[in-house]
Structure 1
Amino acid sequence: MSEIRVRVLDEDEWPTYRDVRLRALRESPEAFVASAEEEASFDDEVWRSRMERSRRLLAEDDGEVVGVVSVGTGHRTSIPGAGELFGLWVDPPRRGTGVARKLMEEAAAVGRDVGLRQLVYWVGTDNGRAVAFASSFGFRPTDDRRPMRIHGVDEDGAESEELMMVYPLGDHGGVPTSL
């Protein structure tokens, strides 16, 4: 395996983001609130505007896309100085190989660069692997919960729940600290 490279996509790279986002939605529909069918119908302008609202980080290995995550700069959370980490996805054969950690490290660096003091990450309470991973990185659970209805998965009326986790963005160079 070669070196994983994580980079922030430029706004004009919206087709790259669109492709990996749709790939993630198709591969892991249970992990996202949105559906691939819904987002595949979006016109180009929607994808362009998404690039303006958040930073999109792409993990690549020898030019092959192996993961993605987004960092919102405060428009989705009411916590002062907080941004939101969302849309984390890693290609299944690459899970457990450090790709997610590299994406999180770069997301934290991006958050610091734009002046955020913490990152908020909503994780499905039934997604033990994601909760454990976020905790190992330094995210801490809060008492905040919200309902989550996953398109194509929760169609029988059942709703899942998300847990808000928070990660402080101090001056520790990407090494997690406790709250």
Structure 2
Amino acid sequence: MGTMIRLLGADDVDSFRRIRLEALRTEPASFASSAEDWENFSDDEWRRRLLGDPVFVAFEDDVPIGIMGLMRQRASKMAHRATLIMVYVRRETRGTGLAKRLLEAVTEYARGMGIRQLELAASAENSTAIRFYEREGFTHIGRVPGGCLRNGREIDDLLMAKRIVD
């Protein structure tokens, strides 16, 4: 069947929960949230999180193997901007182009919503992610000193952005 990427809907809570918790448990240093933050959510809260912002998931034979969400700015004068959230692909799929395909699906969707700029925050210590975003045309727009606390250590967040319309 191969790999398929699609926008999740209300019936996809189980797939969402599965890949989101896998991401938080496997790559705890990559996310602001911890697995503990999410593990105790009720089904209603999972559904609310899923439907609050568009979430795209890559499936390999119906098994979720990657995820990327899009959080649009709510204020009317900033609604042309959106932030990439929850980005994760399984380690064994890295270097296969899966993350690029997820980003392309999210970007296409964002353009259709009238979004002009994608933004993100990446841990300054996550050089793999930073290189990926640079290759995909994101530029550095800033740095949040001590943006995230991990095991008592403050780690900077790098802010990046990419224009998706001219």
TM-score w.r.t. length of structure 1:
0.84
Q: Is contact 2:66-2:90 (8 Å) kept? A: yes
For structure 2, the 5+ residue unaligned runs are none
Match of 1:53?
52
Q: Distance in 2 between matches of 1:80 and 1:160?
A: 29
SS of residue matched to 1:170: coil
Task: Please list the CA deviations of residues 59-89 of structure 1 after superposition, one character each: whole Å capped at 9, or x if unmatched.
Answer: 112222211110112249x845101111110
Structure with greater strand percent: 2
Is residue 162 of structure 2 the alignment partner of residue 167 of structure 1?
Answer: yes
Task: Please list the CA deviations of residues 151-174 of structure 1 after superposition, one character each: whole Å capped at 9, or x if unmatched.
Answer: xxx233x11111111111117xxx
Task: Please list the CA deviations of residues 38-76 of structure 1 after superposition, one character each: whole Å capped at 9, or x if unmatched.
Answer: 210111121111122211100112222211110112249
Is residue 151 of structure 2 the alignment partner of residue 155 of structure 1?
Answer: yes
**Deviation of 1:146 (Å):** 5.3
Match of 1:62?
61
Q: Is contact 2:140-2:158 (8 Å) kept? A: yes
The CA RMSD measured in Å over matched residues stands at: 1.9
**Deviation of 1:3 (Å):** 4.1
Identity of aligned residues (%): 27
Q: Tell me which stretches of 4 or more aligned residues in structure 1 moved more than 6 Å.
A: none
- Report matched runs for 1:7-156 at 5 Å: 7-75=6-74, 79-145=78-144, 147-150=146-149, 154-156=150-152
Q: Is contact 2:18-2:64 (8 Å) kept? A: no
Q: Distance in 1 between matches of 2:119 and 2:50?
A: 19
Q: Is contact 2:143-2:156 (8 Å) kept? A: no
For structure 1, the 5+ residue unaligned runs are 172-179
Q: Distance in 1 between matches of 2:44 and 2:80?
A: 29
Q: Is contact 1:147-1:161 (8 Å) kept? A: yes
